[in-house]
Every structure is written in C-alpha cells, then in structure tokens.
C-alpha cells in the first residue's frame, strides 16, 4: 500500500509540474507578444514618464549592422531600465519621393516586423512618410517625436542621418538639441565584414549578382521571402512539377532566377526544393511571382504563410521555345538542387 501511495504521489507531482510548465510557457508567450507593441503615427504616440531609448532608420533586411545597433540599444535600455524603441518609416523616404527609382526592398514591412521580434525591442514606432511628414521642419521633428512624442533619453542614429524638410536636420543638430533638452545622441557603431561596411545596398548588390552566400554572410542568416501560398494556374502540376505559388506584393524584387531553397512554415520543415523568382517569360506573365517545387512533398498547403530561404543560385531566369523545353530544364534544375543538398 505504501508503494502504491508513493507512486500516486509521484504521478500527482508529475501532473502538477507538467501543468506548471505549460502555464509558464503560455505566460512567456503572452509577455513576448506584449513587449512587441507597434505604434502607428504621431497621433498614437504616448510618452513614458521615465522615457525610452530609441533608434531611427529603415532597417531594410535587418542585417548584421542593424543587429549590432539593436543589441547596443537593448543593452543601454537594460542599463537605464528603459524600454527600447525602433522608429521606422512606411513607405521609406526614397519610395515617397522617387517611387520608380527607389531600389527593391530586401524585406516587406511584415517580414521586417517578424525579424525585429527576435530582438529585445519593446516598441516599434511606424511613422507614415507622407507630404505632411516631408514638410515637417527638423526642429518640429525633434520636438514632436523625440521630446514630446516618445520622451527619448538615449538616441542611436548614423552620423549621416538627415531629417526634416529639405533634409536640413543632421547629427550635429540632434546632439545640440540633446544637450539642451536632456537626451543623449550617439553614433551607430560601424559593422564591417571583410573590411567593408555592411549595408542594405551591399546586400542588394550581392543578390543581384547571384552571390547568395555573400548576402547570407552580411545578413547573418539566409536571405528569405515570405508570403501566403495561393492558387495558381496549375500549369506546373500538369507538367509533373507542382509548385507552391507565393505572391510577392512588391514593386520590385531584389533577386530573380532559379534557386535551391528550403521552405519553412509547414509540418516537417524545412522542406527542400527548387524555386523560381521572376515574371516567367515562357508563359507570358507580367508580375513577379515566387514558385517553389518541393521535393518528396504532396500535401496541399494553400493559405499557409510560409518562409522561403534562398541557399544557392542555379541559373538566371530565361525564356524557352515552349513548355517541353521548359520541362526538360526544370528537371535539370531539380537534379542540380538535389546535388547541392547532397553535398552540403
């Protein structure tokens, strides 16, 4: 009887411990999401009496240089006991002033937010870049955002940061305003790889030239695109190569061609495959689309939000004489992608 009683006691303790662990995980998830507050527009700004630490920028791609700034900001926030805030603009300034000349984004807004959630950032402040913001003087920007809007106590920006109407505001102006209003302004630490500063422009150049490994090196992770799997024209299925079609919702894409990829976001992830990014000239399409053929995979995943990691470029996108020639090339692409994975 004593043995039975002990066994029951151990079992009861195990149940209580299991429930406690589940509750703790649930609470942690709530806290994680609670810390990731998104503030949209000046009218929603609500300054903390004690203030915050902040940085301002596009954070396109959230590359290694950005990550260094985020870590710098989080450490300062911990030291001062203040929340860390990232301030960004939507659309980006160059997209507002010259939409046709603006470079392709490395990441859409949703992708940027998802990546920022991985860091110790309590708030993301998104300012709509429109005519009103473009006409705001540098002095107004400082007063309405830094002093009154967020009560920033510690601000990290690049020494080439320009703001306000006609880009008259600069790092020196911010430092002067900080000295007068009780906030500190510091320069972003330059982060270099191979003795060259890491930048979104440098990553775009790597992607455009097909140097996926260099882009990964500068990002600190594989380059990826995300989106929801949508129904297509089923042409790939009829050719024996069914694809997951992902609409990119971008004016421009930073890369094109055929790649060995991994897909995340579905059961069994990562799923290996081969992907085409582009306008599919053989079938006469006009909008860029991401099509992924998954190896040894036959489940329907329509509606799933997935992430596609680009690992190796196989070739440029090209136009074929017909679907038969296209099918032959797709088979070669699949074989090359499988060889790539086999040799990793």
Residue 147 DSSP one-character state: I
The three state secondary structure string of 174-210 is HHHHHHHHCCEEEECCCCEECCEECCHHHHHHHHHCC
Residue-wise pLDDT tens digits, 270-308: 999 999 999 876 766 668 899 999 999 999 999 999 999
Residue-wise pLDDT tens digits, 207-248: 999 999 999 999 999 999 999 999 977 777 778 789 999 988
For residue 47, the model assigns a pLDDT of 85
* d(C-alpha 288, C-alpha 271), whole Å: 23
Token pair, residue 267, equals 């059961």
Residue-wise pLDDT tens digits, 88-134: 999 999 999 999 999 999 999 999 999 999 999 999 999 999 999 99
- Angle between helices 200-208 and 212-219 in degrees, nearest 10: 160
For residue 230, the model assigns a pLDDT of 93
């Amino acid at each position: 009887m004593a043995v039975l009683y002990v066994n029951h006691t151990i079992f009861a303790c195990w149940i209580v411990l299991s429930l406690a662990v589940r509750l703790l995980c649930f609470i942690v998830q709530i806290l994680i999401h609670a810390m990731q507050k998104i503030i949209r527009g000046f009218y929603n700004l609500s300054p903390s009496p004690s203030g915050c630490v902040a940085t301002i920028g596009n954070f396109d791609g959230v590359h290694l240089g950005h990550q260094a700034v985020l870590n710098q900001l989080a450490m300062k926030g911990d030291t001062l006991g203040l929340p860390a805030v990232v301030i960004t603009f939507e659309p980006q300034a160059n997209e507002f002033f010259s939409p046709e000349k603006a470079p392709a984004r490395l990441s859409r807004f949703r992708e940027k937010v998802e990546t920022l959630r991985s860091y110790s950032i309590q708030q993301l402040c998104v300012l709509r870049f429109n005519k009103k913001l473009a006409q705001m003087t540098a002095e107004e920007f400082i007063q309405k955002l830094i002093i009154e809007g967020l009560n920033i106590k510690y601000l990290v920006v690049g020494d080439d940061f320009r703001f306000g109407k006609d880009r008259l505001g600069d790092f020196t102006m911010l430092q002067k305003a900080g000295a007068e209003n009780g906030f500190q302004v510091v320069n972003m630490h330059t982060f270099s790889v191979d003795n060259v500063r890491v930048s979104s422009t440098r990553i775009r150049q790597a992607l455009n030239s097909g140097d996926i490994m260099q882009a990964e090196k500068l990002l600190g992770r594989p380059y990826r695109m995300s989106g929801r799997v949508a129904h297509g024209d089923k042409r790939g299925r009829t050719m024996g190569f069914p694809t997951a079609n992902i609409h990119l919702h971008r004016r421009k894409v930073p890369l094109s061609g055929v790649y060995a990829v991994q897909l995340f976001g579905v059961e069994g992830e990562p799923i290996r495959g081969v992907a085409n990014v582009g306008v599919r000239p053989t079938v006469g399409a006009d909008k860029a689309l991401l099509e992924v053929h998954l190896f040894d995979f036959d489940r329907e995943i329509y509606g799933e939000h997935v992430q596609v990691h680009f690992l190796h470029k196989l070739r440029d996108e090209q136009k074929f004489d017909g679907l038969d020639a296209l099918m032959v090339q797709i088979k070669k692409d699949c074989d090359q992608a499988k060889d790539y994975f086999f040799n990793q």
